Amino acid sequence: MIKNKKVKITELGLLPYSEAWKLQEDYFSEIIAVKRQNRASDQPIPSPNHLLMVEHPPVFTLGKSGKIEHLLVQENALKSKGIEFFKTNRGGDITFHGPGQLVGYPILDLDNFFTDIHKYLRYLEEVIIKTLNDFGLKGARSDGETGVWLDLDTPFARKICAMGVRASRWVTMHGFALNINTDLSYFDYIVPCGIQGKGVTSLAKELKKEVDPALVKAAVLKHFSEIFEVEIID
């Protein structure tokens, strides 16, 4: 197999969750189609890889193994608060996406890299940990709780980046949500990621100032390219 070590980045700006989800599904299907074609061909072609960068209007999403009781407000009351709600096919529990957050959706053919979902998640966490370090913050992993945390082994542990992925035939969907200038009050309506007793935070809250999202995005892309050993292309 010819391994494609290039990842095409698509900047989506502010986009409703449903539209971004459909775009993910389209790219996912494209990669699956190439892989099927390659199995029947004596001249296989490299399968593509994508990374979508997006910001969503306020939305709660529930993973396939998540508990609806972790939504602390009635679904019919969400509309009045301007919040959408979706049950998704990713892993993980409930989380929030909204303005001031950097959301990344890598749609990768892991046959181009390594066929190990746990390693994939650890690599995504490492991208965020290194990004936070660029801003003077020390991120950490929590065993059994995918994502990136600050002050993990203290009573003040708080999550700054949530993660939830789906993979089928070694093709990934969904990804990470890093709080930059996010309005954290939205998290009061949920049990974030289904984890009781731990808070959430953002770069702005930790640094006590608004942070330029472009700088954060640049850092994420730099570390993504280094850790996954890929070339980012437009």
Residue 114: left (phi > 0), alpha (psi -120 to 50), or beta?
beta
Taking the C-alpha atoms of residue 175 and residue 90, their distance in angstroms, rounded to an integer, is: 9
Among 103, 127, 193, 221, the one annotated catalytic: 193
Would residue 161 show up in a list of annotated catalytic residues for this protein?
Answer: no
Three-state DSSP at 19 gives helix
Q: Assign 3-class secondary structure to 29-92.
A: HHHHHHHHHHHCCCCCCCCCCEEEEEECCCEEEECCCCCHHHECCCHHHHHHHCCEEEECCCCC
Residue 57 CA to residue 53 CA, distance in Å, equals: 14
List of residues 6+ apart from 140 with CB closer than 8 A? 129, 148, 149, 150, 152
User: Hey, which residues are catalytic here?
Assistant: 193
